[in-house]
Structure 1
Amino acid sequence: MPTAENKQDTVRPGLVSFVGAGPGDPELLTVKGRKAIEQAGLVLYAGSLVPPAVVACAGAGARVADSAPLTLAECHALVRDAALAGENVARVHTGDPSLYGALREQAALLDRDRIPWRVIPGVTAACAAAAAAGVTFTVPEATQSLIISRMEGRTPVPERERLAALAAHKTSLAIYLSAHEAQALQEELSRSLPPETPVLCAYRVGWPEEKLIRTRLGELADSVAAHGITRQVVFLVLPAALKKGAASRLYAEDFKHGFRK
């Protein structure tokens, strides 16, 4: 007859889902992400960035824990214990887990412990900010690229990815995790872009206290300071907004493709 210990050994590990919560609006959570939260025995979310309303759909018997005060080892211990007990786990990240989400190190620990995992994408703040402000990153014949990056802070940035070098391409930029360095950000971008370059400062997109501040590069630091913003801002730098550009060829009468002769 199997012992209690042997029974424990035969329990199939639960599935860990890294859920992209989007920028903060619970309605921007994907259907798949919501289901993962509803079906989880443990919901671990980044409370410093993810509003409690996003995980309010957790089941009545689920344990909901804030990962903000925890270390990587402490987070993994909670996830591991729940998964090895056969529970599904929803590890809820702000935005999309593939951007600044510490996904690699968490997944490596799960692989080590032979715990299955998956990633459910979320709406990244850059796209949510563009939608909220009604702006576009791409303008035909002006720019067709978007660069996502950040200022150097406690996490270094490779020299080849310094913002002045990236801005020299004159493409759209989405800059994360840099609100506390607004003056340095302005100075770095000004090495490659003119002071009249349009910038959108999008604060807590999708939260009730959302702010969309339209400014210019030469006034960026002053605009951030005037609104008392020090965190949770994505900066959209839009050089192409100064150009007329051209209409998209997609719907032009003389543009033929497989679905329109």
Structure 2
Amino acid sequence: MESKVYFIGAGPGDVDLITVKGRYILEKADVVIYAGSLVNSEHLEFCKKDAAIYNSASMTLNEVLDVIKKYYKENKTIVRLHTGDPSIYGAIQEQMDEISKYNIPFEVVPGVSSFTAAAASIKREFTLPKVSQTVILTRVEGRTPVPKKEDLEILCKAQASMALFLSVGMIGKVAEKLRKGYGRNVPIAVIQKATWKDEKIVIGTLEDIEEKVKNAGITKTAQILVGDFIDTDYDKSLLYDENFTHEFRKAKNETCHN
């Protein structure tokens, strides 16, 4: 493989949820810098025995860049292994921008995000006909600020399906903002470590979710899913409706003309 940097999404937890392409590159890599605080360490079992492994949990941006520059000069294949999909709260843009300054080639390999894994864990679909055709991915303000125009209370006025990252430690604040924004009691689910062996699922409403989450001992590494899609009636999709015509199928009640 050529010497360059691969930003790879490792998936939400289960090591088999990395893509085939991601696993293949990981197996061939000379150097792996992985987000040790979030990425399942079992991924490292697929690395070459002589691969150089770095845990970025304790590293600064400059330290990560120093490792990349060092091994690129040695003509090595480098993997930057991120959790979920690296394009969502992955802090990869700053890394890509910096290595571009040194003309170091790179590629991004997408992965399964924790928000889709969480929906799979509770066996729900975000986009139900006549319920919601929009999914909002967001977070509440913590040490990282959120633009005022994206305040949770404002966003939920759209009544769309929502997935909140990095917010379960402030579940009380989340529930309060959602109650104000929705103006009613809607279903909410909290999924800790979706697809991991020690996954936890809590389902409730805006009125009782804070207590349920605290009783379950969930304080971090969790997705918050919000919206009627979790528990509601819905219309069936037209895609499989026998009376609906599309490019690949004529409706049963459609008259055929020769």
- Fold agreement, TM-score > 0.5: yes
Whether contact under 8 Å (2:203, 2:209) holds in the other structure is: no
Paired letter, 1:19? I
Q: Which of 13, 36, 43 is the matching residue for 1:47? A: 36
Q: Deviations along 1:121-173, whole A, 9 cap, x unmatched?
A: 00000100111110110110111110000010111101110011111111100
Distance 1:207 1:243, change over 3 A: closer
Give, in angstroms, the shift of residue 242 of structure 1. 4.7
Gaps of 5+ in 2: 251-258
1:179 aligns with 2:165: no
Give, in angstroms, the shift of residue 112 of structure 1. 0.5
Give, in angstroms, the shift of residue 84 of structure 1. 1.8
Give, in angstroms, the shift of residue 239 of structure 1. 2.2
Return 71-80 or 240-249, whichever deviates more.
Answer: 240-249
Instruction: State how far apart, in whole Å, the 2-side matches of 1:75 and 1:245 are.
Output: 48
Instruction: State how far apart, in whole Å, the 2-side matches of 1:86 and 1:104 are.
Output: 23
Whether contact under 8 Å (1:199, 1:214) holds in the other structure is: yes
Give, in angstroms, the shift of residue 66 of structure 1. 0.6
Match of 1:4 in 2: none
Distance 1:22 1:61, change over 3 A: same
Paired letter, 2:159? K
Q: Which of 136, 143, 146 is the matching residue for 1:154? A: 143
Give, in angstroms, the shift of residue 109 of structure 1. 1.1
Instruction: State how far apart, in whole Å, the 1-side matches of 2:182 and 2:5 are.
Output: 43
Give, in angstroms, the shift of residue 241 of structure 1. 4.0
1:57 aligns with 2:46: yes
1:89-128, aligned counterparts within 5 Å?
89-128=78-117
Gaps of 5+ in 1: 1-11
Match of 1:201 in 2: 190
Match of 1:164 in 2: 153
Paired residue secondary structure (2:180): coil
Whether contact under 8 Å (2:188, 2:230) holds in the other structure is: no
TM-score by length of 2: 0.93
Paired letter, 2:149? R
Q: Identity of aligned pairs, percent?
A: 37
Q: Which of 119, 131, 135 is the matching residue for 2:124? A: 135
1:5-44, aligned counterparts within 5 Å?
14-44=3-33
How many residues are matched?
A: 250
Paired letter, 2:9? G
Whether contact under 8 Å (1:84, 1:115) holds in the other structure is: no
Instruction: State how far apart, in whole Å, the 2-side matches of 1:196 and 1:217 are.
Output: 6
Match of 2:256 in 1: none
TM-score by length of 1: 0.92
Instruction: State how far apart, in whole Å, the 2-side matches of 1:206 and 1:66 are.
Output: 22
Match of 1:74 in 2: 63
Instruction: State how far apart, in whole Å, the 2-side matches of 1:35 and 1:149 are.
Output: 31
Q: Which of 247, 251, 255 is the matching residue for 2:240? A: 251
Following superposition, which runs of at least 4 residues in structure 1 exceed 6 angstroms of deviation?
Answer: none
Match of 2:205 in 1: 216
Instruction: State how far apart, in whole Å, the 2-side matches of 1:29 and 1:186 are.
Output: 32
